[in-house]
Amino acid sequence: MKRILLILILITCTRSFSQDVAFTQSFMIPESINPSFSGFYQTTKAGLLYKNQQWSGFNFNLNSQFIYFDDWYPNLNSGIGISLINHQETVTNYNLKQVNLSWAYDVQIDYDWHFRPSISVGFGFKDYGFDNLLFEDQIDIYQNLISSNTFDPIALSENVRYFDFGASFLFNNDYSWVGLTLRHLNRPNVSMVSQGDAPLDIFVSLHASLELPILNYNDDNSIFLITNFMMQGKYDRFDLGFQYVFDRFSVGLTAATNPIQTSEKSHFITSVNPVIGMAWEGFKFGYSYDFNLSRIGGDGGISEFSISYDFLNNKECFGCPDWGSGYKQ
């Protein structure tokens, strides 16, 4: 019964927000939220985000990974990146993979500000491990046999394949950035039901990292205001917090909120998320833990790890150029 309940939950969520993973550390690896960051630092970069969500009450967990590689091409005045999203659920073996190719072009507006539009093309595929489901027409009570085939109209497809298109924009100066991302502009059909029609809702994210004019007494110390508003269908999330970078270290605190509550039982603040980071010889490491504040039972907390590497600018301090949430040259 628990397995069937999880499947029904997954069917519902697949139409809504579960398609797009919301990473707490999107400001640490901004390529995960905005493809316009491809080649942003005019160098070669690669990185990984790993998210693990435990649901001890249901004895299953969710794992999500974002892997990327991007480079800067000065002759084209552009950055090109490739990324992979991988998402698994351990009980039903539901798995989502999507590969995206992005292109970002840099336009210098004035001495301080740049504008970076980008487009992305992706190919996604979903697989389902619902082998233990048994439909009524598979049972032959006269011959005491179980057929491997079914003609039930709600039979689940084994997999779904689709193309995906998106566009993003980014405004930045040497210290701050503001961006907008639109995913699934073509609204691909991701129905898991045979002959079903479930167009994926467009995902919208408005995000920013703004350096505050306090405690910035040298280039190795800065405080950033971090915001990220996300909406997909009737679901929304607004992350708000601060990050303090000093030398090669970083500490931050964000809160995940639900500003457009869909019912009286909705929670305004769903989690509080401390984040720590360190930079060392071209590497940047991060760890965060989401403390659940909602009344949803069984959530054992969410851990998130990040690592990225700059192949050309091996800066050792977190607040040095290219290492903070902002962008300093």
Contact 270, 294 (CB under 8 A): yes
In order along its 329 residues, the chain shows pLDDT tens digits of 444 444 444 444 444 334 688 899 999 999 999 999 999 988 899 999 999 886 655 566 788 999 999 999 999 999 999 999 999 887 667 788 999 999 999 999 998 899 999 999 999 988 876 555 655 556 666 666 666 665 555 555 567 889 999 999 999 998 899 999 999 999 998 877 767 788 899 999 999 999 988 765 566 688 999 999 999 988 889 999 999 988 889 999 999 988 876 666 667 788 899 999 999 888 999 999 998 877 665 556 789 999 999 988 655 444 444 444 544 44
Nearest to 329 by CA among 172, 208, 212, 179: 172
Q: How remote is the C-alpha of 65 from its chain's centroid?
A: 8
| 21/35 Cα distance (integer angstroms) | 15
pLDDT of 82 reads 97
Structure tokens at 249: 């270290």
Nearest to 74 by CA among 44, 118, 101, 115: 44
| 270/224 Cα distance (integer angstroms) | 22
pLDDT of 265 reads 63
pLDDT of 316 reads 45
Pairing of strands 45-55, 78-89: unpaired
Provide the whole-model pTM: 0.81
Strand ranges for 20-152 from DSSP E: 45-55, 60-73, 78-89, 95-105, 107-108, 114-115, 118-127, 139-140, 145-146
Q: Would you list the DSSP string of 247-266?
A: TTEEEEEEEEE-SS-SSTT-
Contact 29, 47 (CB under 8 A): yes
Q: At a CB cut-off of 8 Å and minimum separation 6, what does 137 contact?
A: 147, 150, 151, 152
Pairing of strands 145-146, 139-140: antiparallel
Length of the chain: 329
pLDDT of 328 reads 44
Contact 243, 27 (CB under 8 A): yes
Set out the domains of the chain in order of their start, with CATH numbers: 2-310 (2.40.160.40)
| 46/254 Cα distance (integer angstroms) | 25
Instruction: Give the residues across from 299 on adjacent strands.
Output: 55
Distances (CA, A) of 41 to 55, 79, 312, 323: 38, 9, 10, 10
pLDDT of 254 reads 95
pLDDT of 268 reads 79
| 67/75 Cα distance (integer angstroms) | 26
Contact 181, 34 (CB under 8 A): yes
